[in-house]
Amino acid sequence: MELGFEVIDLPTSDHPEPGDTAPDFTRPLVGPEYWADASLSDVVGGPTLLAFHPMDGAFPATYMWNAIDDHGFAEDVQLVGVSASSPYEHKDLLEERAEGARLFSDPDAGVAEAYDVENHLDGMEGVTEHRPAVFLLDADRTVQYAWVADEWPAFPDYEEVAAAIDEHA
Amino acid sequence: MTDSDPQITLYRLQACPFCERVVRVLDDLDVAYDSRFVEPMHSERNVVKRVSGKRSVPAIVDGNTGVTMSESANIVAYLERTYGDGGAA
């Protein structure tokens, strides 16, 4: 973003890189009609875009899903989101955007810790959420493409994501 | 989707006492189940209506027997009959 001043740098992340196996986890997975505990390994049956985002309702979450919808990634890959929001908030988000996606609810940010995408929020004591981050996974959960925000805020390069999907999915 | 794919799916509402009653019986009988949580608003429970014919919860779908059932008293009686001592399954 061109703002004419420095935005906040986030600490270096030791996140999964291409070639690594994305860490498995189990959390409530919210779809249009219900939520149920699910493991990432159960959900990934083919190319999957795993998108971490700030809590539902924050503008970066809205921007990310609007952009993912606009690019039509759901036509080529399975879309899975993760945020700190509750299943009730995920249901609301899915009524507005994130067409075809399902969303994991990770209120304690344990998945964020496993992927090293934690963002401890300044001015919201005790709240840790997820940095914007996207991982393209193949059917074995091998990372094909990874991007993690290193500034706050920062957004994925969606053309780069599209190119990765074209190459790997 | 955990516990090696249980055959019973329980449609439930968070903190619904009738649902918890069914959960307690499932646990007492040591019967594995998957939980699917639905919305407080009746009008947003189309999935339950599709499987059971009604929007009320709890509702169970038992893949072992092909039974689908609503109403906690009915479900409890069914579970005890089917999975209790001397039950059919």
Where do the domains of chain B lie?
Answer: 8-83
Total CB pairs under 8 A between chain A and B: 27
Task: Quick: pLDDT tens for A111-129.
Answer: 999 999 999 999 999 999 9
Q: Kindly state the tokens that stand for B72.
A: 């906690």
Inter-chain touch A34–B37, beta carbons under 8 Å: yes
Task: Quick: pLDDT tens for A160-169.
Answer: 999 999 999 8
CATH class in words for B8-83:
alpha beta
**Per-residue pLDDT, A134:** 98
Mean pLDDT in residue range A34-61: 97
Distance from CA of A156 to the nearest CA of B (A): 31
Q: Looking at the partner chain, which of A26, A34, A39 has a beta carbon nearest the beta carbon of B36?
A: A34
Chain A residues within an 8 Å CB radius of B1: 36-39, 42
CB contact A35 to B (< 8 Å): yes
Give the integer Cα–Cα distance in Å for A37 and B86. Answer: 32
**Per-residue pLDDT, B4:** 65
**Per-residue pLDDT, B12:** 97
- Please state the pTM of the whole predicted model: 0.92
Contact A161, A64 (CB under 8 A): no
Chain B residues within an 8 Å CB radius of A37: 1-2, 34-35
In this structure, which amino acid lies at residue B36? R
Give the integer Cα–Cα distance in Å for A7 and A5. Answer: 6
Distance from CA of B28 to the nearest CA of A (A): 21
How big is chain B, counted in residues? 89
Kind plus residue range of the DSSP H or E element containing A80:
strand A78-83
Mean pLDDT of chain B: 92
Inter-chain touch B11–A35, beta carbons under 8 Å: no
Inter-chain touch A91–B39, beta carbons under 8 Å: yes
Which domains does chain A show, CATH number per domain?
16-168 (3.40.30.10)
**What value of ipTM does the predicted structure carry?**
0.88
Task: Quick: pLDDT tens for A2-21.
Answer: 778 888 899 999 999 999 99
Contact B31, B37 (CB under 8 A): no
Give the integer Cα–Cα distance in Å for A130 and A83. Answer: 6
b (16+ CB within 10 A) / e for A33-53: bbbbbbebbebbeebbbbbbb
Distance from CA of A26 to the nearest CA of B (A): 9
Q: Looking at the partner chain, which of A36, A39, A42 has a beta carbon nearest the beta carbon of B36?
A: A36
Q: Could you give the angle at which helices A59-71 and A158-168 cross, rounded to 10 degrees? A: 40
Give the integer Cα–Cα distance in Å for A51 and A63. Answer: 12
**Per-residue pLDDT, B5:** 80
Q: Kindly state the tokens that stand for A16.
A: 């999964």
Q: B25 to each of A6, A35, B20, how far by Cα in Å?
A: 59, 22, 9
Residue A136: partners with Cβ closer than 8 Å, 6 or more residues away: A47, A48, A49, A50, A77, A143, A144, A145, A146, A161, A164, A165, A168, A169
- Indicate which of A25, A27, A29, A33 best probes the interface with B, i.e. most B CBs within 10 Å of its own CB: A33
